[in-house]
Amino acid sequence: ELKVEQNPLFLSMQEGKNYTIYCNYSTTSDRLYWYRQDPGKSLESLFVLLSNGAVKQEGRLMASLDTKARLSTLHITAAVHDLSATYFCAVDSSGGSYIPTFGRGTSLIVHP
């Protein structure tokens, strides 16, 4: 059974600082996704990573995928308050069904 672990689960940071969120998964997969969820809202797709070494950047967020280490990172550069949200990684399980399995999410709060 595929397990997806994110850390940290809670992150409080100051504006202007950098930080990295980690997503580890337990079985082979080369399909990983990052989503953002604002409080009480839906999930919005941020990044789609489909191969080893894939790197995607959008504004102050950069995501990467290392399929050999079964690890993805979401790096935040010079955080701003608008980035406050919960970030989820999801991995398509292999073995036929490819069901997107989500991590528990990282709740990010950016303080002025």
Partner 1 sequence: DSGVTQTPKHLITATGQRVTLRCSPRSGDLSVYWYQQSLDQGLQFLIQYYNGEERAKGNILERFSAQQFPDLHSELNLSSLELGDSALYFCASSVLGYGGELFFGEGSRLTVL
Instruction: Return the structure tokens found at 39.
Output: 């409080």
Between residues 96 and 112, which has the closer beta carbon with respect to partner 1?
Answer: 96
What gap in Å lies between CA 47 and CA 39, rounded to an integer? Answer: 20
Q: What is the SS3 assignment for 47?
A: strand
CB of 43 to partner 1, least distance (A): 4
Q: How far apart are CA 83 and CA 29, in angstroms?
A: 28
Based on CB atoms, which residue is closest to partner 1, 18 or 45? 45
In the complex, what is the shortest distance from the CB of residue 100 to partner 1, in angstroms, rounded to a whole number?
6
Min dist CB 57 to partner 1, Å, is 17
Neighbours of 8 (CB within 10 A): 13
Least separation in angstroms between residue 67's CB and partner 1 is 15
Nearest to 65 by CA among 50, 45, 76, 86: 50
Residues that bind partner 1 (CB under 8 A): 31, 33, 35, 41-45, 48, 88, 90, 92-93, 96-105
The DSSP call for residue 42 is -
- Which of 4/79 has CB closer to partner 1? 4
> Nearer to partner 1 by C-beta: 29 or 64?
29
